Each structure stands twice: as structure tokens, then as C-alpha cells.
Amino acid sequence: MAADRTPGTALVTGASSGIGEEYAGRLAERGRNVVLVARRAERLDALARRLRRDSRVEVETLVADLARPADLARVAERAAGEDVDLVVNNAGINGYGPFAEVDPALLGKVLEVNVVAPTVLTRAAVPGMVRRGRGAVVNVASLLAFAGDLPPGPLPRRAVYGGTKGYVVTFSRTLAAELAGTGVRVQVVCPGLTATEFHLGTGEEPVAGEARVHDEGGMPAADVVTASLAALDDGEVVCVPGLPDAEAVARLSAAERGLRGGSGARVAPRYRTAGTGPD
């Protein structure tokens, strides 16, 4: 039986709406106890009541801002619990805007939530999982991790956000390889535009009021989670929910092997005359 279907506890960050809320509901349906983590207490409490009623599982709520070290430490302590065998690092904020104009404090918060928090929570949970010989970590990234030099419009201005999601992809893939054979799996999910409230703000403050969806549309959050859980059952490390061609990931790995061919001891010929021309 797949590890994510065994009785245990799943800790889900960013659980108050969208993809995180969908993960929480789906995992509870599978009989898992859940720990819900987010900034909005009212939404967490409402979700907890619904999950207890509909799925009859144990539900905990942790109101936390993962950009705050003290809050992150509390969540990490819970992630290290002996009952936690699945961590879903879903919380994220975007900080979109022209790099030279975005508030540096907001960019720092993007790094804390998108990079530091999943790293810390994964580090808290993995040693116990390895010791028990089972468990999984699911990290939610974005197809913007691969957007690179594509210009804004219709894509957002995303230098820092895209960079953080690139980190999540590389971190997850590398850690998955490191943990091969331990019984602990790592997956990174890279959805495209998703029908959530993510684009209703930069993330500096949580979106107020009832949950709603941004006008851009996109894939339903339920479909993103369906793809992720199916991929987790099948052992896929990189899950792109809307990608029909599964071989595209293999081609990415092949391209990376080609780039790593540049690790030789001699500089490439095209650089040997660089800098010798007139100023």
C-alpha cells in the first residue's frame, strides 16, 4: 500500500484556501488525520469543523505566519512529530512586481515563506520518516520555475518568485535522489495557472473575506491535487498536472546531463579569447 494511504498524520501548510485546502480535504477522505497550517484562523476553524464532520478524522489547526521565525519553529516542532508521515509544503506568496520597485521587505518575506519554510519543515520531518522507513514530502512549486527569460505579459513580473520556485524544484529533485531506498519519497508539484485566490494580492497580507477565485481562471485546485496524489502513488518526483507528455521531464534531465558536461578542467574554446579586444 502506498505510504500516503497509510493511517497517519499529514501536515499541510497554506491550508486555508485553494490547493492547500484541497489537499487537506482529500487526505482526510483517505482517512488521514491532518494538521492545518495557515495565517487565517477563521478559515482554518471552518475547514477543521467540516473535515471532522465529513471524514471523522482528527484535525488540528496551527495559526502561523511562516515568515516569522517563532511561528515557523512551532510548526517545525509539530512536523517532527512521530505521527507525521506526510508533509505538504504548499504555503507560498508571490511578491510580484518590477524587481527595482518591489518593497525589499516583501521580497524577504517571499524568500522566508517559499524557500526557508519548506526547507525547515522538510528537515524537521525527514529524520523521523527515515528512521521509521516510510513517509513523504510534497512541495508545491510552479511552472514559473521554468519560465526563465520569458518576458512579462501575460506572465507576471516574477524574478524573485520564479527564483524561489526554481529552488523548490531543485531541492525536491535532489533530495528525492538522496533519499532513494529509505522508504521516504519526495515530490515537487509544478502547476500552471490555477483557479485560486493566489493572484488577488502579493501575499504581504492574507486575502480577506470569504475564499474566492481570481479572474484569470486556470486549472481547478481539485485537479492539481488529483494529479499530485496519483503521481505520488506512482512514484513520480516531478508532477506537472497539465502536461500530457510525461517524457518532457526525462528530456529535461537529459539536457541537464549535457550541461554538466561543462565541468571539465579546461575552459571552453569560445571563452579563451574573451576580453582580449579593445575596451
Query: Which residues are part of the catalytic machinery?
Result: 161
Rounded distance, CA 60 to CA 54, Å? 15
Nearest to 3 by CA among 86, 101, 110: 86
- Quick one: CA dihedral 69, 163, 26, 178, positive or negative? negative
| Nearest C-alpha neighbor of 242 from the set 196, 199, 186, 190 | 190
Backbone angles phi, psi at 184, to 5 degrees: -110, 125
C-alpha grid cell for residue 82? 512521530
Task: Provide the CB-side half-sphere exposure for 42 (13 A, CA).
Answer: 6
Give the single-character DSSP code of 152.
B
The total number of residues shown for the chain amounts to 279
Residues 6+ away with beta carbon under 8 Å from 169: 141, 145, 146, 188, 190, 238
Contact 12, 36 (CB under 8 A): yes
